[in-house]
Chains A and B, each alone.
Chain A
């Protein structure tokens, strides 16, 4: 149970980072932390003590199989997270070229 709460704590750290930090790069790192927290949580749901890979074999009986779905899903989620991060970093670089700063309080053409 405590591991789940630690996951939640990690999630909150990431959320705090996204909401409170002023630097674009720090915000992106916060986003990464949120991603990791969710992925970790997802893997932990499928965790089984002393479990083993669910590979069918005719020679031996397998007990304590681990559910492979959460792991497959997390792999997909990691790839999606990578794509989002790459895109956002590219946008942040372009923003730096235009404004010459990473400070979000100075990047505010849009309002109203």
Chain B
């Protein structure tokens, strides 16, 4: 029970200590970065163990009893998201030790990184709607600053665009929360859900709130009509941050918040689900088409993120147990392989100093680890059999067929082929073939960067093992927490006593 506040306290404390000491003592930022993210990862694994038999654990902040005070909730979905988030952030922290030497003021990077981590962990553990908004803003503001970290023309421009769109989205979310407060007179998520149950389901104000939340969180998740900031912001950030943004930030701020509120608080109906399916399908198709023509490696990966988020939202919109299971499985897989691919692109930039695919070629001869791990990541994301991406896509397509969305299942398969096409192009242009004359002198990246890429590649290869009965409860409990729907209120308020 006392483990829950640690997920917010550790990164906040880390940020505080680094900002205090980091400038004078050079060793502090790196070592604290490693220790804090490592302990967070261990705690998140422990939280899976705590929720293994469908228990809900509630922590009362300051001892105030939930409908009045703020509470933190740990259930299956929370511990699932915590593992995803902290696994990626741990490896990214290891990677940053060498990579961030390219920039000045490394300690500032760590401070912002930890604030972002505190925000994301907070969103996942909180059980209070306004608290969620505050953590969402903490994570967003630090990510705006991190996108601009290089302070070159492109980075500032991308950051400005991202900050404006993100703030408008936050205003929509705040307006939604205000309206929800006006009808429910409470901010506790469990309590709101009880109040809404008393309301008539066709209440017009509720529909307006749903629209506001879809706009707000949809923009944070970069679903297609709201995606314009992502292809600029994600490539402009330093590579470890691109990995965090594409790997987990859009999932925590967008997908997690969206599904938690729609499934457990407001309650889903046909209309919401069909909106999710439509947004998912459009993002899937458009993201893939836009990715094909890109010359910038990181920009291609960013468009591919939009396409894969489309898969996740589509699967969750189908709402059968299998589909939600598959969607969450794809969520963790995508977090792993997309952060791997962004770290690879960072490694290429580190040694060859280019992101343009035309200027690369034959990098496999020089960057052995980078080249091969990126091959694993690319094959996994395009769904080649033994790798993790294949299993989650297969499950999504099976779930779609089972729910009688055969046409959409075919679309998903076609998009998957398209995905394979542009990743093969990336591999051919960057890593295979003859070594480009200009790149004769480059060397492989330092070992800390290699280690994190190797671990992520390892998870990609063996990610399919999450389906074996022994490990399946990890995903099952997460899907079940969503499928409980509005029973969430009873579970949370029951766990308080």
User: Which residues of A line the B interface, CB within 8 A?
Assistant: 11, 15, 18, 24, 27, 31, 34-35, 38, 41-42, 45, 67, 69-70, 73, 76-77, 80, 83-84, 87-88, 91-92, 94-95, 98-99, 107-110, 112
Contact = CB atoms under 8 A, between A and B. Distances in A.
Interface in B182-241: 182, 185, 187, 231-232, 236
Contacts of B175: 11, 38, 41
Contacts, number: 90
Interface stretch (B160-168, B316-324, B449-457): B160-168
Q: Size class of B's contact patch? A: 35 or more
A31 B231 CA distance: 22
A110 B154 contact: yes
A27 B163 CA distance: 11
Interface of B: 130, 134, 137, 141, 144-145, 148, 151-154, 156-161, 163-164, 167-168, 170-171, 174-175, 178, 181-182, 185, 187, 231-232, 236, 293-294, 299
Given A18-B164, A87-B141, A73 B156 contact: no
| Majority DSSP secondary structure for residues of B touching A | helix
Nearest to A107: B157
A12 to B, nearest CB: 12
Given A45-B178, A76-B134, A69 B158 contact: no
B178 A112 contact: no
Contact of B182 (A45, A76, A107): A45
A1 B204 CA distance: 16
B137 A45 contact: no
Q: Which of A11, A84, A88, A98 has the most B CB atoms < 10 Å from its CB?
A: A84
A11 B187 CA distance: 23
A92 B157 CA distance: 9
A31 B174 contact: no
B158 A110 contact: yes
Contacts of B174: 38, 42, 77
B154 A109 contact: yes
B156 A34 contact: no
Given A80-B141, A87-B145, 17 more contacts: A18-B168, A24-B160, A31-B168, A34-B168, A34-B171, A35-B167, A38-B174, A41-B178, A70-B181, A84-B141, A84-B167, A91-B156, A92-B160, A95-B156, A110-B154, A110-B236, A112-B231
A37 to B, nearest CB: 8
B160 A69 contact: no
Contact of B148 (A11, A24, A45, A91): A91
Contact of B163 (A77, A80, A87): A87
B157 A110 contact: yes
A83 B141 contact: yes
Contact of A91 (B130, B154, B160, B170): B160
Contacts of B187: 69, 73
A31 B160 CA distance: 12
26 contacts: A15-B168, A18-B164, A18-B168, A38-B171, A38-B174, A42-B178, A45-B181, A70-B178, A70-B181, A76-B134, A80-B137, A80-B141, A84-B144, A84-B167, A87-B141, A87-B145, A87-B163, A88-B167, A91-B156, A94-B151, A109-B154, A110-B161, A110-B232, A110-B236, A112-B293, A112-B294
A102 to B, nearest CB: 11
Contacts of A76: 130, 134
Contacts of B178: 38, 41-42, 45, 70
B163 A84 contact: yes
A27 B164 contact: yes
